[in-house]
Structure 1
């Protein structure tokens, strides 16, 4: 009898490995990570994989989210699919022209021109700008956040939202079930009693529906369909440097005015429909005629990211941009666990003579993720990538700058979770004044950072190397 049970267990053990091999053969890093977990924790590890990690779950999850398409916006305006037309200045350089064609085809949104973009480099400036915009709201305020805390910053937002809701402004708030796990009922209750709406995107109980792994990591604010915000800053005290462990919090956020706000609105509408089931019958009041248009400059492409392997636009966009670099690639990210294509693009660029500089945290809000980040540094340093560790506090910026051609700012980190498991967002910026501002901020961050030395890094303790090796194996799942 015992022998029969052992045989059944052995067959089950082999089958769980076979299932992972069969389903994950296209994702070598994920396959290795899950096999490692199953070998360490048989059956329990496979149960975790089946609930959270299998491609079937990601395909089903991606099918739940669809981008709303609205033909008419504002007073007779239309959201048009891109026709491939680009500005005259772009046609002067063939490589930039080809890149723009690629980028427009990768994003469901067209190249938007004539936008005004303001770069915000810390929490105080960001919160002040958002609060000022919300106080001017006349029709609606839409918030879509990964993390909302009921601390002094959250209460500041809540006071403004309640005031506007009582005055008849439509207030809608989305918050993620994991990122805002500690958001209490008092916050939601006060907002709803004032006439606002608030809903949780994928509650933590989503594990029962196999959705726990798929988070809405976007940070979007839209006011009256005319002003939009996106970037790395959530709603909480840590973003103004009040976390005693992390201290100063360095981040990057954007304020947009112009037709690019239409695309942020469509993302919010899609997230709202996915969460509440509500379909927007008349979108026109939420996409009014833009009054901040400037016929020159201000080019923006909004790129959304959704879970899954088959339609991973953010990876393709970043690889396309990095591959087009001829002089420089500057990148800052709090978590560096790159997709193999991103890692290869950075190494190849550095070996070809492109000035590749990467800023990562000196201290991190996650020791395990920092170990996983450091596990990728040997390959980067050996390829000639200049890596810097930020020393003033915690750097949370998600910025990539390619030559003087484009910059990317958004919610996605250079890590596998952002690429394959989260709902994310990038803004690709082509305005030279904006790129210059982001470059100046990057160079200032370099002044606050220590350059990593390959020789010194290779001499780190064996204990740390072993910890990094273990975290490297499981890093695709972090």
Structure 2
């Protein structure tokens, strides 16, 4: 009996510890307590290694605040030449006027200037994106900076690996930064071949290092390519055959990526170099990396980013503000829908106030638990008037939001709590009317490949399905 009492005391202490450490996010605390209750000893170990606060890690402090300050100084010197205000966007008449509150928020985001002299091309799928990136890499003369969550050693990956090796042999400075978990299946032979060819390769928090340092939960989910400071790419597409529709289960892969030329490329460059510093400890913020490009266009673009190392939850805050100030419509495409309480309330309030809210998400999931969690949110949102559409042609991986014809966002951030709080993410905020119309057209085209989730049928789902969704909902802050 004493052993039972001792065990109960240990569990109680562990629960109290979680409540004290996670009091700012009650839903996260509930999720961890549920795991602890189901697996008392294992749950405590998982919490110890997985749930540590990223910004408390000694390794972050060791990276050198002085180096980061020096990098920012170079960056701020560049910002002076192209930073705009939100009123400049409205005055340029490139889109519908922004709500004042949203405009002031965007203008106040640190290290994320609104830029004007850009040309943006929307890329619709993996094949178009790969061809565009490889063509730009072929023309590189000075440097190529590549950052991806996932790079595989399959056919698609070999195209990029061979291109990087060849450009490095031509004297082009090539850096490759991959996430240690997302790219864990990349073959060691390919990594060695890249390094032997002169490519600088680094992995962001490799699994064992991240586990021992209690940062395994924090992943670099960004997809960034910068070529000669002139051309940049950002969006949802990693490098792998599945993005070409070769996944045996998911089939056709619908995604969105952007090609950007102009001043916004400097923001992509800045973010890549900061991530390179975090990963390697090497500060390479050279003024040459921000050489002033020729004017490419007149489109306004803002690059925003967030991660566990930043003080702001920038992407979450922009999503919330944009949805809360919507006047006509909010159209969302996301592969993973696990909104935090603020986004949940913003969507409900927008729909109840007469704003048309439509959300596209996959019918065929790549994670069953994540799908259960997503479905758990549908009933209350549909009661408020939000409409959901399941993509049936294959797997939709696009992360895109279009609001009122005045603003659109494309990038790496899903509408889920992992993207909001745990991952390193990056989005492009777009204000150009023509680009927004293109994204509107893509959304309407995707609706043709969807089936609407009907409220009457959904509420009649089976009791076992509701139990699965309840479990997914409890765990959703950790997914």
Q: TM-score under structure 2 normalisation?
A: 0.94
Q: Aligned ranges for residues 270-349 of structure 1 at < 5 Å?
A: 270-280=274-284, 283-294=286-297, 296=298, 298-307=299-308, 311-349=312-350
Give the drift of 1:149. 0.2
The alignment partner of 1:408 has SS state of strand
The answer to whether the Cα contact below 8 Å between 2:331 and 2:401 also exists between their aligned partners in 1 is: yes
2:375 and 2:204 map into 1 onto residues whose CA distance is 32
Aligned: 1:368 with 2:369: yes
Aligned: 1:201 with 2:204: yes
2:59 and 2:357 map into 1 onto residues whose CA distance is 34
Aligned residue among 31, 34, 41 for 2:32:
34
The alignment partner of 2:99 has SS state of helix
Aligned: 1:166 with 2:169: yes
Q: Aligned ranges for residues 82-121 of structure 1 at < 5 Å?
A: 84=85, 86-87=87-88, 89-90=90-91, 96-121=99-124
1:275 and 1:8 map into 2 onto residues whose CA distance is 43
Deviates more, 1:169-178 or 1:7-16: 7-16
Q: Which runs of 5+ in 1 are unaligned?
A: none
Aligned: 1:149 with 2:152: yes
Give the drift of 1:376. 1.0
Q: Aligned ranges for residues 220-299 of structure 1 at < 5 Å?
A: 220-280=224-284, 283-294=286-297, 296=298, 298-299=299-300
CA 26–77 in structure 1, closer or farther in 2 if over 3 Å, else same: closer
1:364 and 1:302 map into 2 onto residues whose CA distance is 29
State the partner residue of 1:177: 180
1:284 and 1:310 map into 2 onto residues whose CA distance is 26
The alignment partner of 1:124 has SS state of helix
The answer to whether the Cα contact below 8 Å between 2:79 and 2:113 also exists between their aligned partners in 1 is: no
2:112 and 2:75 map into 1 onto residues whose CA distance is 15
Q: Aligned ranges for residues 406-425 of structure 1 at < 5 Å?
A: 406-425=407-426
Q: Aligned ranges for residues 113-132 of structure 1 at < 5 Å?
A: 113-132=116-135
1:138 and 1:241 map into 2 onto residues whose CA distance is 32
State the partner residue of 1:466: 467
State the partner residue of 2:43: 45
CA 57–135 in structure 1, closer or farther in 2 if over 3 Å, else same: closer
2:175 and 2:458 map into 1 onto residues whose CA distance is 48
The alignment partner of 1:235 has SS state of coil
Aligned: 1:210 with 2:214: yes
1:253 and 1:260 map into 2 onto residues whose CA distance is 15
The answer to whether the Cα contact below 8 Å between 2:165 and 2:197 also exists between their aligned partners in 1 is: yes
Aligned residue among 8, 15, 26 for 2:13:
15
1:188-242 deviation per Cα after TM superposition (whole angstroms, max 9, x unaligned): 1111111111111000102111011100000000000110001000000000101
Give the drift of 1:401. 0.6
CA RMSD of aligned residues (A): 2.2
CA 369–117 in structure 1, closer or farther in 2 if over 3 Å, else same: same
The alignment partner of 2:40 has SS state of coil
2:32 and 2:148 map into 1 onto residues whose CA distance is 29
1:35-65 deviation per Cα after TM superposition (whole angstroms, max 9, x unaligned): 11111111321221121114x3454389558
